[in-house]
Amino acid sequence: MTIFLFSIFSLLFSLLHNSLPVHSFPTSSKLEERTFIISVNHNAKPSIFLTHYHWYQSSLNSLTSNPPSKQVLHTYDTVFHGFSAHLTNYEANLLSKQSHILSLIPEQVRSLHTTRSPLFLGLETTSLNTSSLLEESDFGSDLVIGVIDTGIWPEHQSFNDRNLNAIPSKWRGSCPSDFPCNRKIVGAKLFSEGYEATNGRMNASSEFRSPRDSDGHGTHTASIAAGRYVFPADTLGYAKGVAAGMAPKARLAVYKVCWTSGCYDSDILKAFDEAVKDGVDVISLSVGGVVVPYYLDSIAIAAFRAVQNGVFVSASAGNGGPGGSSVTNVAPWVTTVGAGSIDRDFPAEVVLGNGRRIPGVSVYSGPGLEPGKLYPLVYAGNRESGDGGGGGEGYSASLCLDGSLDPILVRGKIVLCDRGINSRVAKGEVVKEAGGIGMIIANAVFDGEGLVADCHVVPATSVGSANGDIIRKYISNKSKKLSTPTATIVFRGTRIGIRPAPVVAAFSARGPNPETPEILKPDLIAPGLNILASWTERVGPSGLITDRRKAKFNILSGTSMACPHVSGLAALLKAAHPDWSPAAVRSALMTTAYTLDNQGGIMKDESTGNESTVMDIGAGHVHPQKAMDPGLIYDLTTYDYIDFLCNSNYTTSNIELIAPKKANCRGAKRAGHVGNLNYPSLSYVFVQYGKHKMSSHSIRIATNVGDPDSVYRVKIIPPTGTNVTVEPEQLSFRRVGQKLNFLVRVQVEAMKLSAGSSSTISGAIIWSDGKHSVTSPIVVTMQEPL
C-alpha cells in the first residue's frame, strides 16, 4: 500500500507552521474538521475526575451545549500526555484556550515506505561456523521488536514458535482473545480511531478489524526483522532458498495503524504509547510524511519518549530519492535508514527488432511470450498508439492510467508505458485489460537508471530512463519508415553474485536533513531493494485486488524493507550488550559501516551510476559483525538531546512538548551549537556572507567498549579544500566504560557560488587501535545566501 496524500500534506504543513501553539484558526475554515493531537498538563487533573479520560472528555463536552459532544479518540499516558479528537477549527480554537491545554497538533497522514540479505550481511550460519553476533545474542530470543505497520499474518511459517523458550517475564503486552498469538508473536493490537474519524467506519470487505494483515506490508517487514528460518522459500519461482529475518528468535509485537487511506498520526502515537508500556526493546517504523519541526512531529515526540525509556527506534528514510533533501524521520534520536541493493537481481531483458538488447528487471511467472517470436511494439504516449479509448489525453495514455489505452491500437502488442502516478503493477493491469500482450515500463528522468523488480500480472519488465529513450527512438524511427516496430521480453530468472553490490537504491531518500542540516541523515543504509520476505494470504503478490495468485513470500523494495533490517540487528546488539543505550547501538552500527562495494570501489548511486555521497548513504552500509565489537561508541542521554533542542533555538514550551519537565536551557548553550551533539557523524554548515575564511568546532566524547587498555590514534581525511584538526590526536583508555573528550576543528575558505546555491564536500575521521576502526563522516556544506 502506497498512499501519497499531497494535498493533505500541503494543508497540514501550512497549518503546522502557522497555528501552533494553537490560539486561533483561520476564520474562513471554522467548520473544517480534522483530527488534533492535544498535549495536556496531565498533573493539573482536578480530583473530581476519576481518570484522565473522564477529564479529557469533559473538556470536549464543554465545547458545545448541544449533545452529542465530540469524543476522545485516544488517550496517551506513556510517550505523550494528552488525547486526540476530531474537531472543527472553531472547536480547536475554543479548546486551546482552556488552561490545562498546552498545544494542539494537527494530524498528519503518513504513507508506507515501501532472503538473501542475512547471507549478504554476513549473518548466515552453518553447523560448523556460527556467526558470533547471532551466537552471542542467542538470535535475539529475549528481545521484543515492536512493528508499527499494517499488522501481521500470524499463521505464516516465519512466525512459528517451535523450540522457543517461554515469553520473557518482563513482557506486559497482550493479544485479542481471537487472535492466534504464540511465543513468537507475543503482542498484537490495532488502532483505527484516527483513521475512522476522518474516513468513517472501515469497510469490512477490504479491511480486517483485527491485527491481521490485509495488505502484506506489515507481514513483510516483521519477517525481515525477526522471521524464523523457512525452507524452501521463493516468490513465483524466483529467489529460491532459505528465508530468515535478522533476529530469528526475537519476539514480535505488532501494532496495526495503517489502513487503505494511510497511517494516521493519532493512531501511530497510540501505538508508540502502548508499545513502550508493553515493554518492547525495539520499535520498527516503516512510515513517514512531511518534515516539520520536531515539536510538531508526533512521531519525533513519541520516539523521543521511547528512547528515553531505553527503546531503540528505527525508521525508514523515505522513498523520495534520488532528489536532495527528501529524507524523512530526521530527529536525531531516531535511527534513519536508507536502502541499498544486495548481490541478487532478476534480469528480464528487452530484445528489439533491430537485435538490440536492453537490460531490465522483473518477477513474472505465468503465461509467457513465445520463445524467439517478436511482437508488435507501441509507445502508449504516441497518439497513433491511442489517446485512450477511455477518453484520456496522450499524457494519461503514456502513463497507462486506468481507461487511457485504446484496445484497438494495443491489442496483441507489447506496450511501452512511462513510470509515474499509478503503481507499476497497476499499469500492467491496464495493459492486460486493453488486450496488450506485454509491457515495458520506462523510468522518468527523475528516476534515473534505478530498477525495481515487480510481480507483474502480464509479461513485463522495467528499464532505466536512458534505455527508455532508446526504445522510444526505435519505435519512432520504425514508424517513420512505415514498418512495424517489434520486440520481445526474455526472463532470465534469478541471478546471484551481482557486481557491484551494494549500490544505493535510486528511490532511497537523500540528505541534507531539511530540519537540522548539522545532523547528517540518513544515518546509514541497509538492504532494501528486491527483498524476499513473508506475505499475507489476503492478496496476490502484485497487491492488486484482481490478482488471484497465492504466494507465501513476496519480493518488495523500499526503505520500508531497509528499516526492519536495522531493527532486527539492533535487537541482536541489545541482546549481546544489555547495558547499551539506543544511542550506543546506533553508534556501533554507524561507526563500523562500510562505503566500498564488492569490487572495492566507492558504492555507486543506482540512479546515475556515479559514486554515492554521504548525503546518499550517511555513515555507509551496515556491517553487523563489526558492529558487535565497535571499540568506541558515542553515547547520548536525554539531557544531551535537550541541549540540542535548546541550541536549535526552540522555546521552553516547544521543548516541553518533546521532553516534559526536563526543558532547562540555562546551562545548555555552553555546548555552543547544534553540531555539538555527541553524534557519530559530524556536519558543518557555513553561510559565507562575503567572508573569506571561516571555522567551526565540535566536541565529541568517546566511550571505550573494547579492550580495557587501548590506545587510539586518529587519521584525518579532510574534505577537499578544508583544514581539519583533532585535539588530542591520541586517546589512551585504561578501562572499559572510560570516556575521553576530543575536539574537532574545521577551517574553510569561501567558494565561488551563485546566490542561493550550496556545495557539499565530505571526508572522515578514523580512530584506530590496530584492531578497531571507528569511522565518523565529516560533511562541510558551503552556502551563498540570496
- % of the chain exceeding 90 in pLDDT: 80
For residues 559 and 601, membership in a common domain is answered with yes
pLDDT in the model for residue 29: 64
pLDDT in the model for residue 634: 98
**Residue 469 located in a structural domain:** yes
For residues 645 and 725, membership in a common domain is answered with yes
Length of the chain: 786
Instruction: Show the 3-state SS of 683-746.
Output: EEEEECCCCCEEEEEEEEEEEECCCCCEEEEEEEECCCCCEEEEECCEEEECCCCCEEEEEEEE
**What domain range includes position 611?**
111-343+501-627
Above 70 in pLDDT, residue 174? Answer: yes
The Cα 158–Cα 142 span in angstroms is 18
**Residue 26 located in a structural domain:** yes
**Residue 1 located in a structural domain:** no
For residues 226 and 278, membership in a common domain is answered with yes
pLDDT in the model for residue 133: 63
181: how many CB neighbours lie within 10 A of its CB? 23
For residues 338 and 351, membership in a common domain is answered with no
pLDDT in the model for residue 69: 75
pLDDT in the model for residue 631: 98
**Banded pLDDT at 691 (limits 50, 70, 90):** confident
Residue 117 sits in a domain whose CATH number is 3.40.50.200
For the segment 478-497, the average pLDDT, to the nearest whole number, is: 85
Using alpha carbons only, how large is the chain's radius of gyration in Å?
A: 27
Domain boundary among 452, 472, 493: 493
Spatial CB neighbours of 229, under 8 Å, sequence gap ≥ 6:
242, 243, 244, 248
Cell of 738: 572510560
The Cα 340–Cα 622 span in angstroms is 10
Cis peptide before 502 (omega within 30 of 0): yes
Above 60 in pLDDT, residue 96? Answer: yes
**Banded pLDDT at 205 (limits 50, 70, 90):** confident
pLDDT in the model for residue 155: 97
**Banded pLDDT at 44 (limits 50, 70, 90):** very high
For residues 640 and 680, membership in a common domain is answered with yes
Residue 360 sits in a domain whose CATH number is 3.50.30.30
For the segment 229-252, the average pLDDT, to the nearest whole number, is: 94
The answer to whether the beta carbons of residues 89 and 31 sit under 8 Å apart is yes
For residues 411 and 515, membership in a common domain is answered with no
Type and span of the H or E element at 417? strand 414-418
Above 50 in pLDDT, residue 128? Answer: no
- Specify which residues 84 forms β-bridges with: 37, 74
Distance of CA 770 to the CA centre of its chain: 35
Find the catalytic residue in 52, 217, 621, 623. 217
- For 124-161, b/e burial (b = at least 16 CB within 10 A) is bbeeeeebebbebbbbbbbbbbbbbbbbbbbebbbbbb
pLDDT in the model for residue 117: 55
Mean pLDDT for the chain?
90
Find the catalytic residue in 560, 681, 696, 758. 560
For residues 615 and 641, membership in a common domain is answered with no
**Banded pLDDT at 392 (limits 50, 70, 90):** very low
**Residue 663 located in a structural domain:** yes
For residue 517, the SS3 value is: coil
* 658-676: pLDDT as tens digits: 987 766 786 655 457 899 9
Find the catalytic residue in 142, 149, 281, 523. 149
Q: What share of the chain is helix, strand, coil (3-state, %, to 5)?
A: 25, 25, 45
CA nearest to 640, candidates 619, 659, 660: 659
* 345-359: pLDDT as tens digits: 999 999 999 999 999
Residue 704 sits in a domain whose CATH number is 2.60.40.2310
**Banded pLDDT at 59 (limits 50, 70, 90):** very high
At position 505, the amino acid (one-letter code) is A
CA nearest to 464, candidates 328, 575, 360, 578: 360
* 456-476: pLDDT as tens digits: 999 999 999 999 999 999 998
Domain boundary among 580, 598, 627: 627
**Residue 520 located in a structural domain:** yes
The Cα 102–Cα 97 span in angstroms is 9
Residue 30 sits in a domain whose CATH number is 3.30.70.80
Parallel/antiparallel/unpaired status of strands 262-264 and 258-259:
antiparallel
Is the torsion defined by CA of 432, 436, 438, 444 positive or negative? negative
Parallel/antiparallel/unpaired status of strands 282-285 and 312-316:
parallel
For the segment 127-153, the average pLDDT, to the nearest whole number, is: 74
Is residue 149 flagged as an active site residue?
Answer: yes
For residues 205 and 352, membership in a common domain is answered with no
Selected residue with higher pLDDT from 664 and 782: 782
- % of the chain exceeding 70 in pLDDT: 89
Selected residue with higher pLDDT from 70 and 13: 70
**Banded pLDDT at 556 (limits 50, 70, 90):** very high
For residues 103 and 56, membership in a common domain is answered with yes
pLDDT in the model for residue 11: 33
For residues 126 and 275, membership in a common domain is answered with yes
For residues 228 and 138, membership in a common domain is answered with yes
The Cα 206–Cα 195 span in angstroms is 14
Selected residue with higher pLDDT from 403 and 138: 403
The Cα 540–Cα 535 span in angstroms is 9
* 697-717: pLDDT as tens digits: 999 999 999 999 999 999 999
CA nearest to 740, candidates 748, 731, 749: 731
**Residue 685 located in a structural domain:** yes
Is residue 217 flagged as an active site residue?
Answer: yes
pLDDT in the model for residue 3: 36
pLDDT in the model for residue 180: 97
pLDDT in the model for residue 50: 93
pTM: 0.92
Domain boundary among 465, 493, 521: 493
**Banded pLDDT at 477 (limits 50, 70, 90):** confident
- Work out how many domains the chain is built from and give that number: 4
**Residue 247 located in a structural domain:** yes
pLDDT in the model for residue 191: 98
The answer to whether the beta carbons of residues 243 and 534 sit under 8 Å apart is yes
**Residue 209 located in a structural domain:** yes
For residues 512 and 620, membership in a common domain is answered with yes
pLDDT in the model for residue 480: 62
For the segment 54-83, the average pLDDT, to the nearest whole number, is: 90
